[in-house]
Amino acid sequence: MGATKKIYTKTGDSGETSLLGGTRVLKSHERVEAYGTIDELNSFIGLIRDQGIDDHYIEVLIRIQENLFIAESWVAADPQLPCPQIPLIRDEDIHLLEQEMDQMNTKLAPLNNFIIPGGNPVASYCHIARTICRRAERHVIRIKGGSPTDEIIITYLNRLSDYLFVLARKVCQDLGGKEIKWKTKE
């Protein structure tokens, strides 16, 4: 057996990390915040995927997770250096989210009110992922203009948060949960 590569490098012990390309920045740097939040989102989507949901949703969520790794890589790249060899998120990836939402919406009651997040555990996980997605989107907006892919990443995250909302509604319905409509106090 060969030597096992250690996961720890000790290079971050002083509160710094490296962007793709090697530039050292503080771990509190806005770019690190952005890709860290995308990583958090990706982990929550893995949790949703592991909840015994329909295989079709699992397949779509895996594709989403792959795209989040792409987004994370672009956000982690130093924009002052030449463009790295990283795949791109494409318009087709955004269209897939739109098509999936359109398909799920054909089986859902029209929504004329806000709904209170919840309904069952899987729907709740989707709502948590949706809010993390919105936070990731805000972080990427803060660094907008640094990377040639910022615009499509922002669009992708925006559409993904919508997808996660619709998925929350659909899995709530699929698993026999109940949506609670929010009503203003009179």
Q: Sign of dihedral through CA atoms 52, 66, 37, 12?
A: positive
CA distance to 71, 106, 184, per residue, from 75 (Å): 6, 35, 40
Residue 2 lies in a domain: no
Cα-based distances in Å from 6 to 9, 10, 125:
7, 10, 32
pLDDT tens string, the chain, 186 residues long: the values are: 566 777 666 666 678 777 788 888 777 789 999 999 999 999 999 999 999 999 999 999 999 999 999 999 999 988 888 877 889 999 999 999 999 999 999 999 998 889 999 999 999 999 999 999 999 999 999 998 767 678 999 999 999 999 999 999 999 999 999 998 888 877
CB within 8 Å of 130: residues ≥ 6 apart: 161, 164, 165, 168
* Residue-range definition of the domain harbouring residue 52: 26-80+87-106+115-180
CATH code, domain with 122: 1.20.1200.10
The helix/strand/coil state of 124 is helix
- Could you give the count of Cα atoms lying within 13 Å of 146 in the half-sphere of its Cβ? 19
> How many distinct structural domains can be found in the chain?
1
Q: What is the model's pLDDT at position 21?
A: 80
Residue 92 lies in a domain: yes
Distance (Å) of CA 32 to CA 27, 131, 133, 155 = 6, 19, 15, 20
Within-domain flag for 149: yes
Assigned domain for 174 exists: yes
**pLDDT confidence of residue 169:** 97
Residue 21 lies in a domain: no
Whole-prediction pTM: 0.90
